[in-house]
Structure 1
Amino acid sequence: MRFGVLGPLSVTEGERAFELTSFKLRLVLAVLLRHANSPVSDDLLADALWGGRPPRSAPANLRMYVHTLRRTLGRPERIARIAPGYALTVEPGELDAQRFADLVGRGRSAGECADASAVHATLSEALALWRGDAYTGLTEVPPLHDEAVRLDELRLAAIEEHVSAGLDLGRHGELVPELRALAAEHPLREGYRAQLMLALYRSGRQAEALEVYRETRRVLTEELGIEPGLRLRRLEAAVLAGDPSLDLAAPVRAVPQAGRPAPQQLPADVSGFSGRTGELAKLAGLLQETGTRPNTVVIASMSGMAGVGKTTLAVHWAHRVRHRFPDGTLFVDLRGYSRAGPPARPDEVLDGFLRALHVPPAAIPSTLEERAALYRSQLDRRRMLIVLDNAASSAQVSSLLPGTGDCMAVVTSRGSMSGLVVRTGARRVPVDLLSQADSLALLREVIGAVRVDAEPGAAVELTRLCANLPLALRLAAERAAIRPRLTLAGLTRELQDERRRLDLLAAADDETVAVRAAFHWSYRALPPDAARTFRLLGLHPGPDIGLDAAAVLTAQETRLARQQLEALTDVHLLQETMPGRFRMHDLLRVYARDRATADEPEPERDAAVRRVLDWYLHTADAADRVLMPGRRRVPLDPPRQACEPAALPSPGAALTWCEEERLNLVAATRHAAEAGLHDVAWKLPFTLWSYFSLRTRWTDWIVTHDLGLAAVRDGGDRYGEAHLLTSIANAYRDVHRFDEAFERFAAAVAMGREIGEPWIEASARTLRSVALTDLRRFDEAMGDCTSADRIFRAIGDRWGEAWARYQLGEICGRIRRPAEGIEHSRQALALFEQVEDHWGISRTLWALGLAYRDLGRLEEAEDHSRRALDAARAIGNRLGEGFALLNLGKIRNDAGDTLAAHRLWRQALTIFEQLGAPQADRVRARLTAANGAQGVQRSGA
């Protein structure tokens, strides 16, 4: 099957031509061909068919058109439904536009090998594919119009290259009529005029060649008010002089350089440059290497995200050292990420560089390879600095590098330029965000030190909102500088609105000078899959994301997700903070979210967020099951497709996952609460109870539970509210906020009875008993715990019974009934071992150590305390580890080994201080008292 768009739309198969009589049918096929082998959304197709005002029947009509098109083509599988649209499968060689682009590429490759015959033949085949204007009759639709313009520009360039190959083959005579027609059809394309002049001159028609120049000058001055370009002016001079270099196959010759000024192409240095001392020092170190090894060029590869100031730094440093390069400086914007046009072609750049080096136009070869060789020859024995700015890829700059060690090249790019580093040994000079000190210095430079120093807090907040990105800082500072009545506090208030932040960080008179514009060209250069991953990452609620979560968010295999994340990292749209974990710059996150809103249908956005929230919930539940296997769980719906929880085979793996995802879990809870996803908002923090308890993350514990409580109350979910009240009460008890704890315990007990959930009542009573014991209200504690034990036995919950038994042992130990306490603890230990709850085992062993110490049975006390310590360390229970060390210190102190006791207490103190635990004050006081007693003993002696 053959598809034709280089002219009127056509579909053929062998000798058969398919008739597409309906205009809208042709339009659907044309848009699908424009995006061949890629999904085209329903919205884009509807926009092409009906513009901005589709009828209500648009979805049904679109399905009908696709159905008709499938039936017409006779191969329904060709057009697949891929949400949120359709994709047309086109095999290699079936679409004439693709064949044309491939042939042009092959022709250019032949040109790099200086094979004019192959170039001419290949481009002849390519140009023969054209039957008229691209997408004839369909270009009223913007996507098709833009594609037609692109294809036509490629055709005109191919024609020029085809003619150039013909001139190299000596066909100047036969080309004159074709070139006259091309010059008449495209009077403003100077390339055709230059080729016509050369063809006429080589045909012995010098006067006619000069007449072409005069006619071209007249057209340009009358219609555009400009003079012909440098190429034409130099060609006219060469024709007038009868320069032999214009003759066919004349050797390439460079003119002598005596008396010629050295090129100085650097743009103006930025005023008020500040900071970057580390990068400047690294560049200075590379400068010392220049010329030390004649055959090795020093190349600095400066990479960093959009707006980070790579060009500013490169130009500033180049101005500082230009005196070290007496033969001049060359500079080019390679347009790797730019709205100024497609990336610059290396052959075009070399043409400009060779002219700057005073090589006559007629002496500049036509092929990339020959131009690169002449360029390196021109730089030989010269000491020059070449700045290649805004490179798209390593391949783009490879032909632009000097060949000898007297020159130095500086390459800037948003990409990592790994190929350049590997192939040439280029030195990396990463350009990162500014430090806060450098950010403040930049603000002082632009706004003025007086205003910045008058509002130091607002200035720091301004650097945070601009994320220390130089472009954002300069734009914000300029906004303040031109509005002297605007305080910095007022400016930060404006920028705090994420929906307006990127709009505010833009120059009023130049839309290209804006944070959004800088990000846009990085985004636009991404392949479709990477672009989708980028914008979906903007929807992730947390500050960073792991590989597994990213795969779930984007609904793709982990292998593919890693490829997309690495592609984004390579162009500095993402940062890999540690293996498998990625973070997005704050302003980029805002931009990515904007792109998601603009480019991703709302159902897809909602589905992506729900997927990752469900994944966090189910993986947190899996962690909870590993950390406390016997604990009762709240029911969860089965994981959605592509939301399978992470594998957590051990308590260590579960705790590691919880620690790595801690901030994301808090953010996920907040997002769920704000989005009205009440089930996630309360179940996620509740499943984290074991993690919060083991790692004593009290702030996160309370914050997430408050969010969950607000959500369940809003949704009227008494079951969820009762669970969360019990859990948050325990957190308040843990930090000794007893009034708040008792208020919530009482509410949980009452609510558990009200809704018929005895487990909730028993859990709340057990935990309240702990709080009452802490306050030495032992009778009340015993009553609560006994009631809880009775309820747990009645409902057959061995885990709950184990904790009630453990707490009964604690109370008995505190009221000097150690034997009874040991019996309760032994029963608790047996139950914990049955349900394989290692946290409960650790706590019970610790309690037994206390009880045996109270009985003076120090050997048994130490044995149980050491087993408790080992068990706590095995599951990462830092608080339990601290308690075990504290108890071991007491035991060693009782045995008269004060040095060992103090060492153990200092270890315990370190843990309590790291956790912010209230026990730290008591251990510190114990150590102070012990040190004081030792001092008295020494003075008495």
Structure 2
Amino acid sequence: MVAFVPSGSNERIPRGAPGLAFAVLGPVRAWRDGTELDLGSPQQRLTLAVLLLARGRMVPIAELVAALWADQEPSSARGTVRTYVHRLRRAFGGDEETGGPLRSAGNGYRLRIDERSLDLGRFRAARQTADQARTSGDARAAGTLLRQAMDEWQGEALAGLPGEWAASERRRLHHLGFQTAESLAGLELEHERGDRADLVERLVALARAEPLRESVHELLMLALYRSGRAAEALAAFEKIRVALRDELGVDPCPALRDLHERILRSDDDLLPSPPRAPVTAPPAQLPAALPVFCGRRTELDELTTRLDTDPAPGVVVVHGTAGVGKTTFAVHWASLAAPSFPDGQLYVNLRGFEAGGVARPPEDVLGDLLDALGAPVADRPTGLDALTALYRSVLASRRVLILLDNARSDAQVLPLLPGGTRSLTLVTSRLELTGVVVAAGAHAMKLGLFDDEQSADLMALRLGRRRIAAEPEAVREIAAACARLPLALAVVCARIACDPGRTLSDTAQELVECRLDAFGSSDPNADLRSLLSWSYLAVTPPAARLFRLLSVMPGADFTLEAAASAAGLPMRQAFAAMGELTRADLINSQHGRYSSHDLLRDYAGELLAETETAAEIRAAHRRLLDHHVVLAHTATEAMDPNNEDQPPPMEIAPGVQPGPALDDQAALTMFIVEHPTFLALIRHADELGFDRHTWYLAWYLRRFLDWTGRIEVLAACNEIAFRAAHRAGDQRGIGYVHRGLARVAWWREDIPACHRNLDQAIEAFASAGDRVAQAYTHRQVAGVMIDPGRHAGQYDAAFEQIERARALLREEGRLDLECSLLSPVARCLWHAGRTEEAVEAAEISRRRNEELGRKADLLDSLDVLAFAHAKLGDHRTAIAFKEERIALIGRNDESADPGFTATLREQLAFEMVELIGMLLAAGDHARAQVTQREVLVRLRHELTDPGFTTDPGASDDLGAVLADLDALIGRDDLDPGWYTASEAILRRVSEIADRAGAVRWMARLFPHGVLTP
């Protein structure tokens, strides 16, 4: 066994741990999900060792051949290497197609693994962090980290591997381990930590392994002398003196000779320093508060208020994503609150998320806390439970503020919490620490990103308000590029301050172009990638994979179903992984939706590109698009059930989640919330070459955009879809896109363009052999022809289009779809003056569409029935149908969406005005006045909308109109003067709207006295 490996070391086998794990500090071994793998022959193990020690670098086949056979390469060497790699890849559970850590790369192979899954990686990380702790004066932490590093050794590195390459690497690793063991011994001797007898035993073994290493013998002599074994210390000197003379012909170095002389004269200065006297002054360990602190006034007040309640929590957990300013906030609040804690303030950096990834164990922290509180060192217990009990006893009668910064886990924090109610513990962490919240009744506070105002304040404090005021747009651009993350803003401000000639606009442009590269630093605590990596490395492999794949999301927020689809995960697994990411503050969760800021998405995207193949990434994009195609189709069907005017269902990839079941209200709400995501996905699908997804999404989104009056958006979607469908030569897609563009032209009152697009749609559907789509396009043509507002009323031509549609449906054998032609037939008959026939056709259409739940055609039928009965003089029946139509239109929630609400209000206002006319014709003046008063109330709501006009000159006129309108609404009389006053007010509104350039629907509604009885 290697000298520096303790004989009692426990073998560190990752039992039950997920994913792959490897060992080289001993025999070369590998585990998969806690089960050891059979790595085959020594030559195959040597192949794995070469790849592991390359640390993710591509290893050419020639290098592997040289390591295996040196200069005696057999003719079959390269084929044998490929066989070894194939066997290893299969053992790891991956292949070249499905992916895995071992992949071909150029003319060689690359093994990419998490450094934490390799014992040598953990050894290096612990050693590096120990060096940082020792530099900062934290000897206790440094010792703990070095012991953790040495625990990774299980014997001679690369044991049992043949060849010169293995021998050379074995010597290198042995030297590295020996240095670390020597550093640990020196640290323990310097600070008198640990069992001195054990230390002497280890130093004897080290000296025996390296008999000419003077530094080890120096440590051994000092340890023996301090243990009361001066004679053995002198004998150790004589032993190395003889060895140096016989082997090298030299004398011991001056330091060793000086130590020998001091031992001979029993120099008391060689003995350890006596224990420190108890600390009498209260500890005041808080770091200095940031002088340019800003932006957290609400949170500071909230925390102060919460701690003033009775009973007040004894523990506060401040959590948030990397770089959000948790430590800055906690130190600032603690500095303000320090006078309330006369027995002192303690501060500990728990190193939960730092370079090396090794958090400080609680027993180590308790030693420092007890030292700071003046607890005697003599007879201090060593076990965690005993140390915690002593710590709580010391604090029992004191009022102390304890700041535990950068916590990694609940288990790290819980033993450090005082037991009484007098002290307060403030904990910061990137995790939610729900265990601490539950067990200690802690108050949890999440710090979010800054808003624009807070971002500008931070920049002003660091760069000066004059400079910020000079370039306000650049300030907003910088804040956006920094995702309003305080650390990112601070890094950018520091760079600007160091370069006075740099403008804010130049900086903003650089941030847009460079993204994460703009936030790099040689200091890992200021390098954004490094900071984010510590959170990322803390989650399990399934959560890490999901985090990477979330970078394919097109927007800032998304649903669980969308995330599960992108990753191809079942909902239960996706929910568990998202919960882990949320607790790690890599993802935010609110009201059933998830989000992350731009810099986190950029970081996830970089990781995705590094770890997944192009095929895997494209598959994730495909699954995400598939999910939204299914979701949009489901919602469109819910809003207008049994509507066959749709393309055939798209083939959906495995692993795609369909989304929730929806009724018409839920579907509308979904579109209102998600339509920005759909718009982004349409652009995204076009850019990535998913042409069918592009036009499918545009078509499914069409009805929502149409109903809510988003015509320019409808135009943009179909223009993108037009490119995609033509690029793919997809005739069916071309047809649906031309139908969408025809609807846009109809709204713009460009009827020639509308007809051109519909003709092209019919031609495209004919080329695709889709008779059903042709039939529905002919129906759309008929609808345009019978619209008296936009057409001359070509009723014979419209009937011809309907007959063509009927013929196509019969050719296809779809007689069940002929009912979809009843509504346009009824409207065509009505406009053609064939009133009785229109009533008959509309009655049939109404019954059939009511059965099928087709809302659009049902509304159309009710409209025809109302006006046809009014023309026939049956006013009561006309009123009933009109009221039924109004009730059906008004079922939707007006508060759901501004665009839809405006369209709905406009539609209802027109319907109510038409109802008023029918009521007046029926002689029902009382109900007419009630209805008209409701219209006027809606008008008043419009006039008080801030968006009605921005013309300052119109405000006085509007104020007078509103005063007269309020008086009119409050009147109960039915005399003709009431209607005359109503008409006069409407004219005044129209004049104001015209003059102010705010011609709104209510002003256009009454150009003359349509309401006069």
Please give the TM-score of this superposition, normalised by the length of structure 2.
0.71
Q: Residue by residue, what CA displacement relative to the aligned partner does 1:239-268 show, whole Å, maximum 9, x if unpaired?
A: 565x7xxxxxxxxxx9544xx343322222
Following superposition, the deviation at residue 615 of structure 1 comes to: 2.1
Indicate which of 282, 287, 291 corresponds to 1:262. Answer: 282
| Partner residue in 2 for 1:671 | 684
Q: Residue by residue, what CA displacement relative to the aligned partner does 1:775-809 show, whole Å, maximum 9, x if unpaired?
A: 54654542442232011110126687555543343
The one-letter code sitting in structure 2 at the alignment partner of 1:603 is A
The one-letter code sitting in structure 2 at the alignment partner of 1:275 is G
| Partner residue in 2 for 1:84 | 99
| Partner residue in 1 for 2:614 | 602
Following superposition, the deviation at residue 8 of structure 1 comes to: 3.3
- How big is the alpha-carbon RMSD for the aligned residues of Structure 1 and Structure 2? 5.4
Question: Would you say the 8 A contact 1:332–1:388 is kept in 2?
Answer: yes
Measured in 2, the distance between the counterparts of 1:354 and 1:21 equals 53
Following superposition, the deviation at residue 174 of structure 1 comes to: 8.2
Following superposition, the deviation at residue 596 of structure 1 comes to: 0.7
Q: Residue by residue, what CA displacement relative to the aligned partner does 1:517-558 show, whole Å, maximum 9, x if unpaired?
A: 221211121211111000100112233221122111111211
Indicate which of 612, 626, 633 corresponds to 1:621. Answer: 633
Matched, 1:807 2:824: yes
Measured in 2, the distance between the counterparts of 1:610 and 1:357 equals 60
Question: Would you say the 8 A contact 2:226–2:271 is kept in 1?
Answer: no
Indicate which of 156, 177, 180 corresponds to 1:132. Answer: 156
Question: Would you say the 8 A contact 2:560–2:575 is kept in 1?
Answer: yes
| Partner residue in 2 for 1:474 | 490
Question: Would you say the 8 A contact 2:778–2:804 is kept in 1?
Answer: no
The one-letter code sitting in structure 2 at the alignment partner of 1:901 is T
The one-letter code sitting in structure 1 at the alignment partner of 2:286 is L
Question: Would you say the 8 A contact 1:303–1:416 is kept in 2?
Answer: yes
Question: Would you say the 8 A contact 1:705–1:724 is kept in 2?
Answer: yes
Indicate which of 270, 276, 282 corresponds to 2:296. Answer: 276
Per the alignment, in what secondary structure is the counterpart of residue 270 of structure 1? coil
Q: 1:792 to 1:815 in 2, by over 3 A?
A: closer
Measured in 1, the distance between the counterparts of 2:510 and 2:829 equals 61
| Partner residue in 2 for 1:648 | 661
Deviates more, 1:662-671 or 1:909-918: 909-918
| Partner residue in 2 for 1:828 | 845
The one-letter code sitting in structure 2 at the alignment partner of 1:584 is S
Matched, 1:504 2:518: yes
Q: 1:506 to 1:890 in 2, by over 3 A?
A: same
Following superposition, the deviation at residue 298 of structure 1 comes to: 2.0
Following superposition, the deviation at residue 365 of structure 1 comes to: 3.5
Following superposition, the deviation at residue 332 of structure 1 comes to: 1.7
Q: Residue by residue, what CA displacement relative to the aligned partner does 1:16-37 show, whole Å, maximum 9, x if unpaired?
A: x9995553454338979x99xx
| Partner residue in 2 for 1:298 | 314
The one-letter code sitting in structure 2 at the alignment partner of 1:604 is E
Measured in 1, the distance between the counterparts of 2:422 and 2:158 equals 50
Question: Would you say the 8 A contact 2:224–2:233 is kept in 1?
Answer: no
Give 1:786-935 correspondences, 5 Å limit.
Answer: 786-796=799-809, 802=819, 804-814=821-831, 817-830=834-847, 832-833=849-850, 836-872=853-889, 883=907, 886-888=910-912, 890-892=914-916, 893-894=919-920, 895-896=924-925, 897-902=927-932, 904-905=934-935, 934=978
| Partner residue in 2 for 1:526 | 539
Q: Residue by residue, what CA displacement relative to the aligned partner does 1:151-201 show, whole Å, maximum 9, x if unpaired?
A: 9699969998xx99xx999x9768744444348879999999999978865
The one-letter code sitting in structure 1 at the alignment partner of 2:336 is R
Per the alignment, in what secondary structure is the counterpart of residue 589 of structure 2? strand
Q: Residue by residue, what CA displacement relative to the aligned partner does 1:541-600 show, whole Å, maximum 9, x if unpaired?
A: 233221122111111211000000011111111111212x21121221111111111122
Measured in 1, the distance between the counterparts of 2:740 and 2:604 equals 37
| Partner residue in 2 for 1:713 | 726
| Partner residue in 1 for 2:551 | 538
Question: Would you say the 8 A contact 2:826–2:842 is kept in 1?
Answer: yes
Matched, 1:8 2:27: yes
Measured in 1, the distance between the counterparts of 2:699 and 2:442 equals 53
Deviates more, 1:676-685 or 1:752-761: 752-761
Following superposition, the deviation at residue 840 of structure 1 comes to: 1.6
Figure out how many residues of one structure are paired with residues of the other and give that number. 841
Question: Would you say the 8 A contact 1:309–1:470 is kept in 2?
Answer: yes
Measured in 1, the distance between the counterparts of 2:707 and 2:468 equals 45
Indicate which of 507, 510, 529 corresponds to 1:491. Answer: 507
Per the alignment, in what secondary structure is the counterpart of residue 656 of structure 2? coil
Question: Would you say the 8 A contact 2:778–2:802 is kept in 1?
Answer: no
Indicate which of 735, 748, 767 corresponds to 1:722. Answer: 735
Question: Would you say the 8 A contact 2:721–2:737 is kept in 1?
Answer: yes
| Partner residue in 1 for 2:373 | 357
Measured in 1, the distance between the counterparts of 2:374 and 2:218 equals 23
Gaps of at least 5 residues in structure 2 are: 1-12, 14-21, 32-36, 68-75, 103-116, 124-146, 241-251, 257-267, 894-899, 949-957, 970-975, 985-1013
| Partner residue in 2 for 1:248 | none
| Partner residue in 2 for 1:285 | 305
Following superposition, the deviation at residue 60 of structure 1 comes to: 8.0
The one-letter code sitting in structure 2 at the alignment partner of 1:686 is W
| Partner residue in 2 for 1:592 | 604
Per the alignment, in what secondary structure is the counterpart of residue 181 of structure 1? helix
Following superposition, the deviation at residue 269 of structure 1 comes to: 2.1
| Partner residue in 1 for 2:572 | 559
Measured in 2, the distance between the counterparts of 1:653 and 1:775 equals 34
Following superposition, the deviation at residue 631 of structure 1 comes to: 2.2
Following superposition, the deviation at residue 702 of structure 1 comes to: 2.5
The one-letter code sitting in structure 2 at the alignment partner of 1:465 is A
Gaps of at least 5 residues in structure 1 are: 71-75, 88-94, 102-122, 224-234, 244-253, 919-923
The one-letter code sitting in structure 2 at the alignment partner of 1:8 is P
Q: 1:546 to 1:43 in 2, by over 3 A?
A: farther
Give 1:91-102 correspondences, 5 Å limit.
Answer: none
Question: Would you say the 8 A contact 1:41–1:84 is kept in 2?
Answer: no
Measured in 2, the distance between the counterparts of 1:390 and 1:77 equals 38
| Partner residue in 1 for 2:702 | 689
Q: 1:386 to 1:875 in 2, by over 3 A?
A: closer
Give 1:304-319 correspondences, 5 Å limit.
Answer: 304-319=320-335
Question: Would you say the 8 A contact 1:446–1:477 is kept in 2?
Answer: yes
Question: Would you say the 8 A contact 2:27–2:158 is kept in 1?
Answer: yes
Q: 1:59 to 1:324 in 2, by over 3 A?
A: farther
Per the alignment, in what secondary structure is the counterpart of residue 446 of structure 2? coil
Following superposition, the deviation at residue 855 of structure 1 comes to: 3.6
Question: Would you say the 8 A contact 1:841–1:871 is kept in 2?
Answer: no
Matched, 1:404 2:424: no
Measured in 2, the distance between the counterparts of 1:723 and 1:841 equals 24
Following superposition, the deviation at residue 405 of structure 1 comes to: 3.0
Indicate which of 371, 377, 383 corresponds to 2:393. Answer: 377
Q: 1:630 to 1:777 in 2, by over 3 A?
A: closer
Question: Would you say the 8 A contact 2:564–2:657 is kept in 1?
Answer: no
Measured in 2, the distance between the counterparts of 1:783 and 1:322 equals 88
| Partner residue in 2 for 1:583 | 595
Matched, 1:181 2:205: yes
Per the alignment, in what secondary structure is the counterpart of residue 327 of structure 1? coil
Question: Would you say the 8 A contact 1:401–1:409 is kept in 2?
Answer: yes
Measured in 1, the distance between the counterparts of 2:908 and 2:173 equals 76
The one-letter code sitting in structure 2 at the alignment partner of 1:614 is D
Q: 1:182 to 1:503 in 2, by over 3 A?
A: same
Q: 1:401 to 1:683 in 2, by over 3 A?
A: same
Question: Would you say the 8 A contact 2:39–2:45 is kept in 1?
Answer: no
Per the alignment, in what secondary structure is the counterpart of residue 526 of structure 2? strand
Per the alignment, in what secondary structure is the counterpart of residue 428 of structure 1? strand
Measured in 2, the distance between the counterparts of 1:522 and 1:660 equals 30
| Partner residue in 2 for 1:114 | none
Measured in 2, the distance between the counterparts of 1:83 and 1:279 equals 48
- Aligned-residue sequence identity (percent) comes to 25
Q: 1:77 to 1:264 in 2, by over 3 A?
A: closer
Per the alignment, in what secondary structure is the counterpart of residue 550 of structure 1? helix
Q: 1:771 to 1:530 in 2, by over 3 A?
A: same
Matched, 1:452 2:465: no
The one-letter code sitting in structure 1 at the alignment partner of 2:607 is R
Measured in 2, the distance between the counterparts of 1:578 and 1:684 equals 26
The one-letter code sitting in structure 1 at the alignment partner of 2:605 is R
Measured in 2, the distance between the counterparts of 1:724 and 1:916 equals 37
Q: Residue by residue, what CA displacement relative to the aligned partner does 1:83-117 show, whole Å, maximum 9, x if unpaired?
A: 31379xxxxxxx9989x99xxxxxxxxxxxxxxxx
Q: Residue by residue, what CA displacement relative to the aligned partner does 1:682-708 show, whole Å, maximum 9, x if unpaired?
A: 122113334444454434422321211
Measured in 2, the distance between the counterparts of 1:682 and 1:158 equals 66
